[in-house]
Structure 1
Amino acid sequence: MHTRPSPRRLTATLLTAAALLVSACSSGSSTASADGAVDAALAALPRSTPSALAPYYGQRLRWRSCGAPGFQCATMKAPLDYARPGAGDVRLAVARKPATGKGRPLGSLLVNPGGPGGSAVDYLQSYAGVGYPAAVRARYDMVAMDPRGVARSEPVKCLDGRQMDAYTQTDLTPDDAKEENALVAADRRFAESCGAHSARLLRHVSTIEAARDMDILRAVLGDRKLDYVGASYGTFLGATYAGLFPQRVGRMVLDGAMDPSLDARRLNLDQTAGFETAFQAFAKDCVRHADCPLGGRGTTPAQVGAHLTAFFRRLDAHPVPAGDADGRRLGESPATTGVIAAMYDQGSWEQLREALNSAMKENDGAGLLVLSDSYYERDAQGRYSNLMPANAAVNCLDLPPAFTGAGRVRQALPAFEKASPVFGAGLAWASLNCAYWPVRATGEPHRIAAKGAAPIVVVGTTRDPATPYRWARSLSRQLSSGRLLTYVGDGHTAYGRGSACIDTAIDTYLLHGTPPAAGKRCS
């Protein structure tokens, strides 16, 4: 599954039921570690720009007004294949909102909301360009670029809307061989469709290529160094940039951090445990409310989980109406997706309680289906964004698959179910999707040291469901200039989510270059 900022940033990106795989190509020697990850290091690229890339670094963007007042858009070219710059280009969508405030301009601040597959341009226009602190927007040109294969940047294409409806309804907790075969067939159809519709792109949407695109953008914008705020998967993108171009790192914030040193299975298992941690927090809160449909006072989180699991099993056998114009009903898979979507922000817990009440007591699945649709970026007309195709395309290229077949998933089920009795089985089976991908992975797990980089602020939330806190600690230790900033609380990512302590620390760093004190914690 992929990662996302909080539901407040709904147009940015959402979490899907695909495997969370976040790595890229690495170089140097490597050895297998105890947990299956590869102990390799991402090597920096030469400081000088190769002559074959000079036309890209020297291009001029043609800005035009777009979206809301004050925003401008342009198209940037990058080589489709950095190993063969003359073999064709990829066209990348860029947007900005120029700084208009008083004070010395600080250049460009590039933002990315995560995914992989989230539209950075949408994120800029709907949130960052208007919702970031006024002082930051006054001094920086706020900039975004949809990574290659995403949204406006030559999007990866796979299934159509009706086919996606069927795919998102796939039973992710097969009870027998027939259901297991159906799940495998659905993953195969999805992968084959992506290969048929996007063959040109699929070998060239890795995180390392997207990070190299960011350096072209930095140069084209006229910035000596890259200032950057990345959330969720955007932290992996930013850390990869730092590893490749450490001397060009400016003020960099990585919020809701990924750990690039882990393999796909470990990443998925850790995230499964992260969702269980978030669910436990939700369960404790739920039983304090009279409208909690999963138990009353005195009910333990474990009992809440058992009640929810029993509800999922009922839906598996008997889906309920959801008031959907296309005739979709609420089965186990979309119900689970809806619950997972609400784990990203405690502000969604009330909505989740209401949706569960409707489904469990009134046989009305509309509320949970709305949460599931938002998670997959499906609109009321049955159209999906390319979030899921792009997510799979990047993830499956960045790391070898978590599992190579259904038998491997069955072997891993006990570990996943131990990590989360509620979500473990479904998340284990969801991790199978890259097994059938039409192109081989080009990346592997690796450490990122970024030696010589300016201070990099790594933000971790202690009960983050999608990017567990341990990942932030690990990345901050890998980075030679990493500085860990901790938010003790719930939800995915921390900046701009209500903590004055977090916001002040990051704003001070962005505006004045002063990173937070070592070991700083906020609540």
Structure 2
Amino acid sequence: MDTRRSLRILATALGTAGLLISGCTSGSSTSSSPSASSASPTPSVPAELTSYYAQQLKWRDCGVEGFQCTTMKAPLDYKKPDSGEIELAVSRKKATGPGKRIGSLLVNPGGPGGSAIEYLQGYAAVGYPAQVRARYDMVAVDPRGVARSEPVVCLTGPQMDSYTKVDQTPDDAGEVTELSGAFKRFAGGCEKRSGEILPHVSTGETARDMDILRSLLGDEKLHYVGASYGTYLGATYAGLFPARVGRLVLDGAMDPSLDAVDLNREQTEGFETAFQAFAADCVKKKDCPLGTTSTADAATRLKRLFTDLDARPIATGDSRMLTESLGTTGVIAAMYDESAWPQLREALAAAQKGDGSGLLSLSDSYYERRPNGTYANLMFANAAVNCLDLPPAFADAKAVTRAVPAFEKASPVFGRAFAWSALNCAYWPVPATGTPHRIEAKGAAPIVVVGTTRDPATPYKWARSLAGQLSSGTLLTYRGDGHTAYGRGSDCIDTAINTYLLEGTPPAKGKMCS
């Protein structure tokens, strides 16, 4: 479990992972004419980047109906643009009409490490409102180090299986050593397999890649919808290129001003808030596996289950046993979307009877483990970006031990595990290049920041903070559960965002939806 992951669950719920469609295949040789996009480079582009802004995109059919794919080049190192380049995968679905085309709408589902192309092809290009798809080319680029864009690779499938089951609530010095060793092996695997790219997957570099793509698509302004970590990416873009901001929706916002300790602890609070909402709903039901008396009793019963799993992992019908770590991750996964609550209740009830298959399935969905035992690169890219963007939350195990009480205060259920999981960046082979900072983006066009009051992964306070930092930020609030708000059933939210995307008019200040 990595508590700094904040990925929007693709295609609405955990159980719909099968809707994700494989992306571009290099075997397709069908070509289209170069994009109308290959317009002249954006004015004020540094001379050393001119060739990147002047490249032409060669679109081809990528084997998924209605979608085109291409690749673009970007400098591996923006500080030394002549030292090498990286190839990034891009996909689009052109505007369907009717109505005048507004431009391209880039989408990013978060992570860091989520595939924007899978999100586009599996959800956004079919699930976004028809009127938005009619007037925008829907576009996605997998960020550097992610999925189809020279992905970071760290561990084999069996190695990841071992890594994910390691006890993240160590009870003694031996277990602390075991957990630290797991983090070291993970980091060492990343360095061994992806050492060249590891220093160059920061959010700032990815934001610069997005500006090259904006220009190649022929757009003067960047129009963008970013969810979860995608809000940090979008805000970073706005900070770097405020004059090039078009219509930006930042849904499930992160707060760039927080250091890693505060970020992890406040996210811990967010998951506690989400668990309390789940528990309050559960105890009203006769078959609630956590009891029918109170949320406090529900929390006690869940902690007891975790303690039991720590002492005696249970069978799953698979060669893997359900450990405390995997069980905790399964519960965490279901907190992202309230539509997964019934699945979680069933999984908890089964676990109490010695069947861990349900919680293991939820955990596998979180880690993006495939049925054949391999893993997507989500968690590899997630660590690589997080550990580069901010200095480590903790320098060593002693620092975690001192912080555990504060984390347990933030969440009696999850706090201890979340504190220890934040130790991972302490052993990262590349020093962080980013620092906590406010993003104001002075001079940018209106930016819509969306926050959900009981969001587990990106607490509502982060949306309030980011909207307050941005000079042109407007906060749109959804009173409800789950991670992010757009396209999740609120007509009020969807209407406000659609109006902004189509007309450029942000919602009224302080607008609240439910």
- TM-score normalised per structure 2: 0.93
State the match for 2:6 in structure 1. Answer: 3
Residue of 95, 99, 104 corresponding to 1:103: 99
State the match for 1:472 in structure 2. Answer: 463
Q: 1:7 to 1:294 in 2, by over 3 A?
A: farther
Q: 1:122 to 1:11 in 2, by over 3 A?
A: farther
State the number of aligned residues: 487
One-letter identity of the residue aligned with 2:508: A
Q: 1:433 to 1:47 in 2, by over 3 A?
A: farther
* Residues 1:454 and 2:457 aligned together: no
One-letter identity of the residue aligned with 1:136: V
State the match for 1:89 in structure 2. Answer: 85
Q: Is the 8 A contact 1:246 1:450 kept in 2?
A: yes
Match runs of 1:15-414 below 5 Å: 48-296=44-292, 299-324=293-318, 327-361=319-353, 363-414=354-405
SS in 2 for 1:371: helix
SS in 2 for 1:402: coil
SS in 2 for 1:130: helix
State the match for 1:18 in structure 2. Answer: none
One-letter identity of the residue aligned with 1:502: I
Q: Is the 8 A contact 2:12 2:488 kept in 1?
A: no
What is the CA distance between 1:148 and its match in structure 2? 0.2
State the match for 2:432 in structure 1. Answer: 441
Residue segments in structure 2 that go unaligned for 5+ positions in a row: 18-41
SS in 2 for 1:489: strand
CA distance in 2, matches of 1:386, 1:269: 25
CA distance in 2, matches of 1:418, 1:47: 52
State the match for 2:21 in structure 1. Answer: none
CA distance in 1, matches of 2:411, 2:163: 24
What is the CA distance between 1:13 and its match in structure 2? 12
What is the CA distance between 1:291 and its match in structure 2? 1.5
State the match for 2:20 in structure 1. Answer: none
SS in 2 for 1:321: coil
- TM-score normalised per structure 1: 0.92
Spell out, residue by residue over 1:466-508, the C-alpha distance to the aligned partner (whole angstroms, 9 max, x if none).
0000000000000000000000010000000000000000000
What is the CA distance between 1:9 and its match in structure 2? 4.0
**Root-mean-square deviation (CA), in Å?**
1.4
Residue segments in structure 1 that go unaligned for 5+ positions in a row: 15-45
Q: Is the 8 A contact 1:11 1:123 kept in 2?
A: no
State the match for 1:25 in structure 2. Answer: none
Q: 1:303 to 1:58 in 2, by over 3 A?
A: same
Q: Is the 8 A contact 1:12 1:119 kept in 2?
A: no
CA distance in 2, matches of 1:156, 1:11: 24
Q: Is the 8 A contact 1:278 1:490 kept in 2?
A: yes
Q: 1:142 to 1:194 in 2, by over 3 A?
A: same
Spell out, residue by residue over 1:67-112, the C-alpha distance to the aligned partner (whole angstroms, 9 max, x if none).
4211011000000001111111000000000012111001100000
CA distance in 2, matches of 1:125, 1:11: 17
One-letter identity of the residue aligned with 1:260: P
What is the CA distance between 1:8 and its match in structure 2? 3.7
Q: 1:303 to 1:8 in 2, by over 3 A?
A: farther
Q: 1:12 to 1:88 in 2, by over 3 A?
A: farther
Q: Percent identity, please.
A: 69
CA distance in 2, matches of 1:13, 1:470: 29
CA distance in 2, matches of 1:322, 1:59: 52
Q: 1:138 to 1:507 in 2, by over 3 A?
A: same
State the match for 1:26 in structure 2. Answer: none
One-letter identity of the residue aligned with 2:96: T
State the match for 1:420 in structure 2. Answer: 411
One-letter identity of the residue aligned with 2:5: H
Q: Is the 8 A contact 2:13 2:340 kept in 1?
A: no
Match runs of 1:471-490 below 5 Å: 471-490=462-481
Q: Is the 8 A contact 1:148 1:155 kept in 2?
A: yes
What is the CA distance between 1:289 and its match in structure 2? 1.1
Quick check: 283-292 or 227-236, which moved more? Answer: 283-292
Q: Is the 8 A contact 1:13 1:117 kept in 2?
A: no
What is the CA distance between 1:403 and its match in structure 2? 0.3
SS in 2 for 1:95: strand
Q: Is the 8 A contact 2:120 2:140 kept in 1?
A: yes
Hey, which bits of structure 1, 4+ residues long, moved more than 3 A?
6-14
Q: 1:374 to 1:396 in 2, by over 3 A?
A: same
Greater RCO (Cα-Cα under 8 Å, separation 6 or more): 1
Spell out, residue by residue over 1:427-457, the C-alpha distance to the aligned partner (whole angstroms, 9 max, x if none).
0000000000001000100000000000000
Q: Is the 8 A contact 1:484 1:518 kept in 2?
A: yes
Q: Is the 8 A contact 1:150 1:156 kept in 2?
A: yes
Spell out, residue by residue over 1:395-444, the C-alpha distance to the aligned partner (whole angstroms, 9 max, x if none).
00000000000000000000000000000000000000000000100010
SS in 1 for 2:449: strand
SS in 2 for 1:330: coil
Match runs of 1:497-512 below 5 Å: 497-512=488-503
CA distance in 1, matches of 2:366, 2:301: 23
CA distance in 2, matches of 1:114, 1:100: 26
